[in-house]
Structure 1
Amino acid sequence: MKIANLHSHQSKGVDYWTQRISEQEMPALCSTVKSLEKLAKDDVSSLAILGRSVMHDNALTSRILKVANSAIYSKGITQVTTVSRAAVVLGFDTIRNICITAKLLSSLLENKGLSENVYQRLIKLMASSFQAAMLSKMMLKDHGEDLQEEVFVAALLYQLGESAFWSMGGEPTEQLDRLLNECEDEKGHKAVVRQYLGGSFNQLSIGIARSWGLGDVLLKSLSHPNERTPEIRAIFLANQISELMVQPHVDLHRLNQRIAQAAEMLDIEADELKGRMIRCTKATAKLAEAYGAKVLVDFLPKTELLTLPNEPVEAQQTVREPNQLIQLKKLRELTSCAVEQADFNRVLTVTLEGVLDGLGVDRCALMLLSPNRKRLQPRIVLGEQAEKMKAEFLIDVSDKSGVFADAIALKCPMFVDDPHSSKWRMYVDASLKQLTGECSFMLAPVVVESKVIGVIYADRFHTERSLTATEYDGFTHFAQLANVCLGATLHAQ
């Protein structure tokens, strides 16, 4: 190692590199991110400002719309043609995060003057980070979509310091690349980086995150990676797994240890997690193309080391009981949503969280009508086997008969307390019972401007427990308050 080559850079320290990256190398990205983060505090004018902040950038607008209309986000329900409309459909936070991701990828990839070695380092690192973002989101699939999106961006930016450094190009990156190539192990790599930068890449990431005003989740994941909260744990493990999988010589023992830790967190078997990881990698490749970052696809972690099980082992069944404290907490949150004119996704996510954990159901979903109003399809699902429900729970309402069609037509909630009773036998046929099960279920219309756009649904399909009239009263309370919140948001625009 050539120590003499390190001294001139070491004296500058991490603060120097943070300022250089923010002000000289990536001022446009820095400005965009800061503007978008500030918008989170201005609910009234957020949509208009977001539209104005990207409308002059045709390439960015195109990418945002392509991602918003991709299968991962649109679910085939609504085609959007403007950023403002996409924000209404998907929620402002989701579109803000898509915008940050699109701008980040284009900024890091646009430097054409990188040497081949530095370029390879950058591409591999970005591919690993992009895969980690998708893995962390997958690991939190039973949580609200707002949290999933926040974790996606935090995992994507987890190695921002190193990515930003390599994307600068020029003599500093080529010199550090040569020095790292002379090291034989991970410990030596870290020592060289510390000497060259005056600190670690992690410290550089923290410096940039603070300078740009990035979210608390990212800062906490960088500064307290061992914290046991689900979001911090998911970000840490997803990055560890992705990083291990892109190594030229994969340490299978360490990789399997991390996979086992992630499986334990999700309360599933490691083999089932490996199956989910394979499916997640395929989805990552499609999303990378939607973001205009097809170059990353060939560098995504290879899944040959993972074995998809023939019979996935189901996660341990959770039995949720009614909890009045959670009900009150979520009802207060909904009241705050009405006052703050919170976006569509936020309102419905809080509602579903209240129904799931407050009323003690097995699963619940927001189901939206298709553009032709002939089909209901899950948009947000919480609870047991959420992904399975998202894929399979499709309701045909084209013939205007059945309990779902009646709830839409009459704009009133329904409580099917016993599908076999004479009261409901004509409204719940055999095909519907395959989806809802043999026990009771509840549904309530979601109304915007006096028009039903979908329904909220809940049942205890997996534990086969009956719902009570008291729980139905709580369910209708949540649904009614959700509609009040959506009305408040609409009138504020």
Structure 2
Amino acid sequence: MSEPAVENISEPLSLEEWTSVLCDRDMPIFSSTAFSIDAILRDDKKGAMDLANVILHDPNLTAKLLKMSNSSYYNVSRQKMVTVSRAIIVLGSELIRELTLACSFFEAILPAANRERANQEIARAVHAAVQAKSLALSVNDPSPEEVFIAALLHQIGNVAFWCFSGKQGERLLSLINKENCTLEEAEKQVLGFKLTDLAVSLCKTWKLGGLIEDSVKKGKQVNPRVKLVSLGYVITDALKEGHQSKQYAECVDKISVLTGKSKQSVEALMVQNTDTAVNIAKQFGAVSASRLINKEAFQAEEEESRVPEEDKKLVQIQILQEITGIMSGKIDINLLFEMVMEGIQRGLGIDRALFALLAQDKKSMKEKLSLGWRKEFYDQKIIFSISQSPLNLFCLGLKTPQGLMIKGVSDGVLFTDADKRVIGQHDCFLMPVCSSEQPIGLIYADRSFSSQPFTDDEFNGFKHFVQQANIGLAMYRMQGKK
């Protein structure tokens, strides 16, 4: 099945315009994720749970990341992971960070028009990334996953341009095919800049940094690991030229010297990596591109690569089992609430969920953990006012230990003007989080984007998750007193 065509609005006319349009109009999902990850990495106070929050804000990204995390390519231990929190614990935050960037990148580009040139660039990038990671493993590189993501995004300028270009892309292809023009000459003539310049500009704007930025920089490189990224593309291009070509023979010699492996072993590994790249592309959802990596190896139907819609009941059961496991030993209270919130959002199909703590003056509550909220800034915190006169839904929620299901229309009197400015006026669930039977905050959930009505069964599921949070909090307090 081909991807839906993207309406071609007005095309940018300069490097600066292309950078701006790709970031703001065409790839906002990736922009938001990249900026959020950068903010987390720059803040010493932020850690694995903050990374999980970034992922859980996007249900599609969450599903794709969990699918990749459970694949044999990444999950060597074969431990089943049903929550993002568990994936971070098992695989480590560094690997999950790299996977998040990769999955978010594909989330951003795959809805674009199904252009042949775009698929060629995606296929080359995935194939080179797998080959580069294999090289990194062979030479005992400290972070093969970092090499993988750097190779995957090395041609980010080319991939982004061909996914979202219109008439300019057509003129480029016409120059290359009909006028015997080199790609760089055509780029300069049509765009006024080279696509490698666009890669550099996007890296800086998205603050990708590290090995990704080093690999797209121009001039002499001081980072020796960049060589692994470049060799990934050398291998990919050599395989495309064929086994009988001079380029292929030189490539095999070069890899043999670097890794200390025999030429036969190098050739066998290159073929094996090609098959792996086909599967990786399909897992990312790049089915059309996977066919271009190795047409002979492609056998699975397009349906297999899609991320299946989650069975919400099954997700609830699985996450509740994870929560039970957490409470069977020494409780990590942050992880417990992270899983409770993930269970509410994914298990009940919630658009927005928030855990807010009561302020000392008991006149307001401030966000401790939120999922699904569209914020202008990643660090922006949501604050609720508690109003007794007139009574608002948050004040009533704190006083109702059995939980509330509020109707946005019929219970409209509970929404003050201040509430409407913060959350709008939607059907929602509320239930207090208590310590020693005293409310210390509450959990709020709504479907502000989808506007789907809630059911009694979903309300019961919500209450069950919050009850687990309260039980876990009580056990945590008891453990602290021992």
Note whether the superposition's TM-score is higher than 0.5: yes
CA shift at 1:86, angstroms? 0.5
CA shift at 1:272, angstroms? 1.6
Give the secondary structure class of the aligned counterpart of 1:271: helix
Deviations 1:273-304 (Å, cap 9, x if unpaired)? 11111111222222223222233221115799
Letter in 2 for 1:294: V
Letter in 2 for 1:198: G
Letter in 2 for 1:231: R
Aligned equivalents of 2:26, 2:142: Cα separation in 1 = 31
Letter in 2 for 1:87: I
Q: Which residue of 1 aligns with 2:73?
A: 72
Q: Which residue of 1 aligns with 2:263?
A: 270
Q: Which residue of 1 aligns with 2:287?
A: 294
- Kindly indicate whether the alpha-carbon contact (under 8 Å) linking 2:123 and 2:292 is maintained by their aligned counterparts in 1: yes
Q: Which residue of 2 aligns with 1:261?
A: 254
CA shift at 1:155, angstroms? 0.3
Q: Which residue of 2 aligns with 1:150?
A: 146
Letter in 2 for 1:212: W
Give the secondary structure class of the aligned counterpart of 2:42: coil
- Kindly indicate whether the alpha-carbon contact (under 8 Å) linking 1:226 and 1:233 is maintained by their aligned counterparts in 2: no
- 2:272 maps to which of 257, 263, 279: 279
Aligned equivalents of 2:18, 2:274: Cα separation in 1 = 33
Distance 1:74 1:41, change over 3 A: same
Aligned equivalents of 1:122, 1:110: Cα separation in 2 = 12
- 1:218 maps to which of 212, 217, 222: 212
Q: Which residue of 2 aligns with 1:407?
A: none
- Kindly indicate whether the alpha-carbon contact (under 8 Å) linking 1:9 and 1:197 is maintained by their aligned counterparts in 2: no
- Kindly indicate whether the alpha-carbon contact (under 8 Å) linking 1:160 and 1:205 is maintained by their aligned counterparts in 2: yes
| Structure 2 unpaired stretches of 5+ | 1-9, 298-479
- Kindly indicate whether the alpha-carbon contact (under 8 Å) linking 1:70 and 1:287 is maintained by their aligned counterparts in 2: no
Deviations 1:132-178 (Å, cap 9, x if unpaired)? 11111100104667621111111001110011011114222222222
Letter in 1 for 2:199: S
Give the secondary structure class of the aligned counterpart of 2:80: coil
- Kindly indicate whether the alpha-carbon contact (under 8 Å) linking 1:69 and 1:80 is maintained by their aligned counterparts in 2: yes
Q: Which residue of 1 aligns with 2:87?
A: 86
Deviations 1:296-351 (Å, cap 9, x if unpaired)? 221115799xxxxxxxxxxxxxxxxxxxxxxxxxxxxxxxxxxxxxxxxxxxxxxx
Q: Which deviates more, 91-100 or 41-50?
A: 41-50
Q: Which residue of 2 aligns with 1:233?
A: 227
- 1:168 maps to which of 164, 169, 179: 164
TM-score (norm 1): 0.54
- Kindly indicate whether the alpha-carbon contact (under 8 Å) linking 1:225 and 1:232 is maintained by their aligned counterparts in 2: no
Task: Trace 1:82-231 onto structure 2 (pairs within 5 A).
Answer: 82-112=83-113, 114=114, 119-142=115-138, 147-184=143-180, 188-224=182-218, 227=221, 230-231=224-225
Q: Which deviates more, 16-25 or 156-165?
A: 16-25
- Kindly indicate whether the alpha-carbon contact (under 8 Å) linking 2:184 and 2:194 is maintained by their aligned counterparts in 1: yes
Q: Which residue of 1 aligns with 2:20?
A: 19
Aligned equivalents of 1:123, 1:107: Cα separation in 2 = 14
Distance 1:146 1:27, change over 3 A: farther
Q: Which residue of 2 aligns with 1:374?
A: none
Letter in 1 for 2:196: N
Letter in 1 for 2:210: D
Deviations 1:239-275 (Å, cap 9, x if unpaired)? 122134346x898212322332222222223332111
- Kindly indicate whether the alpha-carbon contact (under 8 Å) linking 2:126 and 2:280 is maintained by their aligned counterparts in 1: no
Q: Which deviates more, 139-148 or 189-198?
A: 139-148
Q: Which deviates more, 15-24 or 221-230?
A: 221-230
CA shift at 1:79, angstroms? 1.0
CA shift at 1:225, angstroms? 7.2
- Kindly indicate whether the alpha-carbon contact (under 8 Å) linking 1:40 and 1:93 is maintained by their aligned counterparts in 2: no
> RMSD of aligned C-alpha atoms?
2.8
Distance 1:9 1:180, change over 3 A: farther
Task: Trace 1:391-470 onto structure 2 (pairs within 5 A).
Answer: none
User: How many correspondences in the alignment?
Assistant: 289
Give the secondary structure class of the aligned counterpart of 1:110: coil
- Kindly indicate whether the alpha-carbon contact (under 8 Å) linking 1:18 and 1:208 is maintained by their aligned counterparts in 2: yes
Percent same amino acid at aligned positions? 25
